[in-house]
Structure 1
């Protein structure tokens, strides 16, 4: 870490690898296909580790991300974002090279796909199981039927099944609340599968969010596929809602200390909103933007109570410190920050610095 000059994402690979191994094992125990979402990791080395564990099908959040992984040798990708009518060429190009699945939330998108499609394409119909971001409501029989009719008469379109993201699990504040979301969302998918399976015998149902996939160890009957992504790294939000323990957080932002203010026990670091994002959360009654940690040869120590990132501007981070933690900080030294939301922090970064000193590229 002696060469770090600017905010740098540190990856504790042994911790991330253990997170992956647990999810792979859970999927196998429950007879689920694990199609991990790569929007968090965005890294070929991590995708290849999944492959070494027998995982060969992946999820991406955009066609540019899918292109990156396809060029790296990944051959089966679901882009879990509603079809964008302006990306016809990207869809056709990818579909000519890999097994590609897309997501639709209305029949209009399918009517457009039918006009321009030149290569086989799998299609999932997105169902809103309670997040209320997008997707067809499970009781919207007219909307679902309109989508199915558009696909039944086309040689290149294959209806793969129903897909959901129980993103409202992130609003949970306990494992019990997460399990409630799991029970309700999977029940909806089982109902739809039962309703349409005789008409579409190969129909599958796919769900995915890190909280339910991490916490639920039962109630997976009838579900074919899970697509969690954040679990590779986890973050403070996942710790707070009960998805993981602090020891499971596998990334931190290494930030140079640029100023110390003893009168208020605050430190200024080079690491602001453009590095951490401005996601915030309540932590033990205080609004925080992250938790500072002492860096070590093997990664970082667990957070000490009373220390937190108080505010962020573009480049600045303001750390509120206890007197004992403040004494450990030196101008020109480094301090780690555990993120509220690892996906956003990692997306901004250009590469990973492993705690072993190795550097991995990313999208």
Structure 2
């Protein structure tokens, strides 16, 4: 393999192990497993899921739904509020497969009722504390209006409620992640008491990875877990050996006096997602790549300290500085694998 530019390396066996871990957890807790494919957006990784018996998936856009539909996936939830400007494509997809949509207002529900040409499932988006979008979970009056509008529709099959506790990604401890998760369970229980017969679907990777209580939950839709990343590692959601991706970055310059290595691998490859680790800006961890481009341990004294468009600036320990040279490859473990996977979709290698 002659890697010439930043390349997204996927470890197949680690992916399979992560898929089996989450699939087994869903079975143990008797919840439906509908993994989110926005993390990988990759036909090959999709086939790994299929090999494990997964048939229902989640995506984050109409275009992504169309992509995976064309690969043979026929039961898809678009876990993003309906973009009514894409109604023609939504109708095309709904005519061919089982499609679930997401809405959070009576106006959109009525628009769907009037414009859907085939039946579609619907989840009502609930804000469980993330404060991104959705009806706030305690606004029962508003939720009731959307439920009624959905049930009155001849083209909509109301499935239930969709919650994404994305604020687990900002948690400061495993304890805080589990506290947020249990808040979601309580919200789910309240919704199920108020609206019997409707299901509740949740989907954050930290909560789904760490929790062993899924009371009141009918479905889980995590996505990041298939790869994991440095964010999940520092959150405590995974061990380093579960991280299934690395970005192979060519070294272009070594600056011993600054203890820095410059790589071809910047914001357009890794994203500008950043962590604060030991009071330093942290854009990715560093590893050495083997002959097959697999990677070993995390280099504790090395990390990506800065990115511009094409440049990655690595703070490097003396051992790396003394051995690395232009033309070598360094593996960068991204802070957020979902973004790096999207940026490098056309330059991906599975090993």
Unaligned runs of 5+ in 2: none
Does residue 354 (structure 1) correspond to residue 343 (structure 2)? The answer is: no
What is the SS of the residue equivalent to 1:263? Answer: helix
1:305 and 2:304 aligned: no
Residue 227 in structure 1 maps to residue 260 in structure 2:
no
**Aligned residues: CA RMSD:** 1.1
Shift of 1:339: 0.4
State the partner residue of 1:180: 179
The secondary structure found in structure 1 opposite 2:77 is strand
Q: How much does 1:297 deviate?
A: 3.2
Residue 113 of structure 1 corresponds to 112
Does residue 289 (structure 1) correspond to residue 289 (structure 2)? The answer is: no
Taking the aligned partners of 1:46 and 1:147, their CA distance within structure 2 comes to: 36
Question: Which 4+ runs in 1 deviate beyond 3 A?
Answer: none
Distance between the aligned counterparts of 2:95 and 2:323, measured in 1?
56
**Deviation of the 1:352 alpha carbon:** 2.1
Which residue matches 1:205?
200
TM-score by length of 2: 0.97
Partner of 2:270: 276
Asked whether the equivalents of residues 100 and 121 of structure 2 are also in contact (C-alpha less than 8 Å), the reply is yes
Distance in 2, matches of 1:240 and 1:295, equals 22
- Alpha-carbon separation, structure 1, partners of 2:276 and 2:211: 24
Measured in 1, the distance between the counterparts of 2:79 and 2:124 equals 10
Matched length: 349
Q: Is 1:336 aligned to 2:335, yes or no?
A: no
Contact (CA 8 Å) 1:173, 1:240: kept in 2 or not? Answer: no
Paired residues of 2:281 and 2:306 also in contact (CA < 8 A) = no
Q: Is the 8 A contact 1:237 1:341 kept in 2?
A: yes
- Local SS of the residue matching 1:96: helix
> 8 Å contact 2:229–2:337 — kept in the other structure?
yes
C-alpha distance in structure 1 between counterparts of 2:52 and 2:121, whole Å: 25
State the SS of the aligned residue for 1:94.
helix
5+ long unaligned stretches in structure 1: 356-363
Asked if structure 2 preserves the Cα contact closer than 8 Å seen for 1:211 and 1:243, the reply is yes
Match of 2:259 among 265, 272, 285: 265
Paired residues for 1:1-363 under 5 Å: 1=1, 3-197=2-196, 201=197, 203-218=198-213, 220-297=214-291, 299-349=294-344, 350-355=346-351
Shift in Å, 1:91: 1.0
In 2: Cα distance, 1:161 partner to 1:70 partner: 23
The one-character-per-residue Cα deviations of 1:102-147 (angstroms, maximum 9, x if unpaired) are 0001111111111211100100001111100011112212211221
Partners of 2:335 and 2:153 in 1: CA distance: 45
Are the aligned partners of 2:36 and 2:59 in contact in 1 as well (CA < 8 Å)?
yes
